Chains A and B, each alone.
Chain A
Amino acid sequence: EIVLTQSPATLSFSPGERATLSCRASQSVSNKLAWYQQKPAQAPRLLIYDASNRATGIPARFSGSGSGTDFTLTISSLEPEDFAVYYCQQRSNWPPTFGPGTKVDIK
């Protein structure tokens, strides 16, 4: 089973700042990595799939990059609604696995 690591567990930013989140895989997942956003008491929402493809309706301020074992989610300018928990997920090997999440909170 592929283990995904997201560190640190919490990042603090001010609105308008650029946020960069990291996800590392225990072995190569090629580009088969997705990112999800989850706000309190809400279901997760797919943001990015296959490392760099935005899902339907996702604003352009969200972008993803990386391949192999190291991936990045970038939020170019944080809006108030972007403060949430972000999870990465790999689909390269069965079973699909998620990272533990990074919480983006307000500084």
Chain B
Amino acid sequence: EEQLLESGGGLVQPGGSLRLSCAASGFTFSNCVMNWVRQAPGKGLEWVSTISTGGGSTYYADSVKGRFTISRDNSKNTVYLQVNSLRADDTAVYYCAKGRHDSSGWYWNFDYWGQGTLVTVSS
């Protein structure tokens, strides 16, 4: 059974940093594109970032580009999101999500999700 477990969230002051982690199990992690999607309190879903299977390609939403960095360690089945220069509007639950793929390739859909880790930016 596919499982994703996020950690690393917490309360941080504006301008601060955190490193979010997502540990994967139950599937061949190194074959899968991984993503971060966030949800502000009471709001909808926002795609944040994507990393390719080997880590050589990364993608970011304009709202986080230059402040957030996605990375992965396939030996540890873990994907990370380094979040820097945090602002109040970054307050959200951050979900790790596996990218949907089949024999033809991978797609910008999210077929398995972790339970999320809450990041609160406040002084």
Given contacts A87-B44, A91-B109, A100-B44, contact A43 B115 (CB under 8 A): yes
CB of B15 to closest CB in A, whole Å: 25
A95 near B109 (CB under 8 angstroms)?
A: no
Nearest CB in chain B to that of A85: its residue: B44
The stretch of A20-28, A44-52, A63-71 in contact with B is: A44-52
Number of A-B contacts (CB under 8 A): 52
Q: Would you give the shortest CB distance from A67 to chain B, in whole angstroms?
A: 17
Shortest Cβ distance from B96 into A: residue: A43
Closest residue of B by beta carbon distance from A89: B109
Give every chain A residue within 8 A of B111 (Cβ-Cβ).
46, 49, 55-56
Q: With A95-B47, A96-B47, A98-B45 in contact, is A46–B59 under 8 Å at CB?
A: no
Nearest-Cβ distance from residue B38 to partner chain A, whole angstroms: 11
CB distance from A26 to the nearest CB of B (A): 16
Q: Do the beta carbons of B107 and A99 come within 8 Å of each other?
A: no
Distance, CA A49 to CA B99, complexed state (A): 12
> Interface extent on B, as a size class?
20 to 34
Given A46-B100, A49-B100, decide whether A98 and B113 contact each other with a Cβ distance below 8 A.
no
Q: For B47, what are the chain A residues with a Cβ–Cβ distance below 8 Å? A: 95-98
- Chain A contact surface mostly: loop
Interface assignment of B46: CB less than 8 Å from any CB of chain A: yes
In the bound assembly, the distance between CA atoms of A48 and B77 in angstroms comes to: 27
**Which of A46, A94, A101 is close to B110, meaning CB atoms less than 8 Å apart?**
A46
Q: Which of A49, A55, A87, A94 contacts B45 (CB 8 A)?
A: A87
> In the assembled complex, how far is the CB of residue A73 from the closest CB belonging to chain B, in whole angstroms?
15
A43 near B109: Cβ-Cβ < 8 Å: no
Nearest-neighbour CB distance to chain A for B105, whole angstroms, equals 12
Partner of B44, one of A34, A42, A101: A101
Contacts of B37 in A (CB 8 A): 44
Does B108 contact A96, Cβ atoms closer than 8 Å?
Answer: yes
Asked whether, in the complex, the Cβ of A45 is within 8 Å of the Cβ of B113, the reply is: yes
